[in-house]
Amino acid sequence: MRTWFSEDHRRHFAQAELSGGEFVTPYERPARVEYVRARLIERGLSDIRDPGPADMAPIAAIHDAGYLRFLASAYDDWKAAGLGGEVIAANVPTRGMRFDRIPQHIDGRVGYYAHASETAITGGTWAAALSSAASAQAAARDVMADARLAFALCRPPGHHATRDQYGGYCFLNNAAIAAQMLRDGGAERVAVLDVDFHHGNGTQNVFWDRGDVLLASLHGDPAHGYPYYVGYADETGIGDGAGTTLNLPMPPGTGWDTWSAALDRAMDAIAAHGAQALVLSLGVDAFKDDPISFFRLDSPDFSRMGERIARAGLPIVACLEGGYAIEAVGINTVNVLEGLLG
């Protein structure tokens, strides 16, 4: 198994995250991926390569052109407007307001393109997000060249980024970009399996009306956790995508028995879809000690997760998503990968 990883992830490290009425050091911080890299090497999975620059075409196929221009210049525009600190959305369009007008002022534009204000944009965010997408792209290319499994050690993560909104620590949807590349490379039917604790709202948004890419997401019930306003079981897709979204929300305290039964349902749906390749949105924040989540998986459960997913016999592009119990992120992530490898 090859891992793709860019040091440019370091260029995104916001000063603060707005968390429950306080500013805290962001949970999504650079050390997360260093623990994963160290654990990969410790376990002999040391083929770790830099992906080089991102290919913009597959990114533009997933994201809105205005959104990409916004991300590329948001920090400079913020500074040019005389604003201090980092870019944070303080105003957002809501019930009764206009969604068909994009403000000119950066303070208004940022709220148009954000769905959560915990996530700040820094001077290096765009470069880091591009480098993360580049890792997903390189992993997709490996699988198109017949690798069984390739790992994109992505940071920042991606699954909360919709076609035209960032939030939840995500800017570019790495998994969706990889899935699109697999489609363009000849796989007629692709599945995205999202095991991150949080609902894969961005991936759901991207493929909502498409029948070619199935999304199955296992996550904390949105009645109790982020992203709060999406991720319920009765969201199943529209048009050509009717029936190709499967949401499996679960309550606080969920452990392996309930979680693995949901995984069985997801794997059945992936088989029924006739998927020829799988993108795994690999977050490990379902871990019992995760500081922002409410499931109770233990480290050996992540090995079982990988073993169960491997039974589908599909080629897999795994993209790192969340996981904030920093020291355990490496162990849990590599447990899944070793389970996949068998």
What are the residues binding Zn ion (CB under 5 A)? Answer: 196-198, 283, 285, 322
**Residue 160 falls in the annotated catalytic set:** yes
Nearer to ligand SP5 among residue 20 and residue 84 (C-beta) = 20
Q: How many whole angstroms separate alpha carbon 126 and alpha carbon 128?
A: 5
User: In this chain, which stretch among 54-62, 136-144, 270-278, 283-291 interacts with ligand SP5, using CB under 6 A?
Assistant: 283-291
User: Binding partner of residue 186 among ligand SP5, Zn ion, none, CB under 5 to 8 Å per kind?
Assistant: none
Task: Establish if 13 lies at the interface with ligand SP5 (CB under 6 A).
Answer: no
Residue number with the smallest Cβ distance to ligand SP5 = 322
Q: How many whole angstroms separate alpha carbon 10 and alpha carbon 282?
A: 20
8 Å CB contact between 202 and 159:
yes
Task: Establish if 321 lies at the interface with ligand SP5 (CB under 6 A).
Answer: yes
Task: Establish if 292 lies at the interface with ligand SP5 (CB under 6 A).
Answer: yes
Residues counted in the chain = 342
Axis-axis angle for helices 256-273, 299-310 (nearest 10): 20
Smallest gap from Cβ 28 to Zn ion, in A, equals 9
User: Binding partner of residue 149 among Zn ion, ligand SP5, none, CB under 5 to 8 Å per kind?
Assistant: none
Q: Which residues of 324-338 are buried (b: 16+ CB within 10 A; e: fewer)?
A: bbeebbbbbbbbbbb
User: In this chain, which stretch among 60-68, 167-175, 181-189, 205-213 interacts with ligand SP5, using CB under 6 A?
Assistant: 167-175
Alpha helices in the chain (DSSP H): 31-42, 56-62, 65-80, 106-112, 125-144, 174-184, 201-207, 256-273, 299-310, 326-341
Structure tokens of 119? 């996530």
Rule CB under 6 A: choose which of 198, 210, 219, 296 binds ligand SP5: 198
Per the listing, tokens 């980092």 go with: 86
Active-site residue (options: 9, 12, 63, 160) = 160
Smallest gap from Cβ 307 to ligand SP5, in A, equals 23
DSSP state of 157: -
Task: Please list the active-site residues.
Answer: 160
* Residue ranges in contact with ligand SP5 by CB under 6 A: 19-20, 118, 157, 160, 168-170, 196, 198, 226, 283, 285, 291-292, 321-322
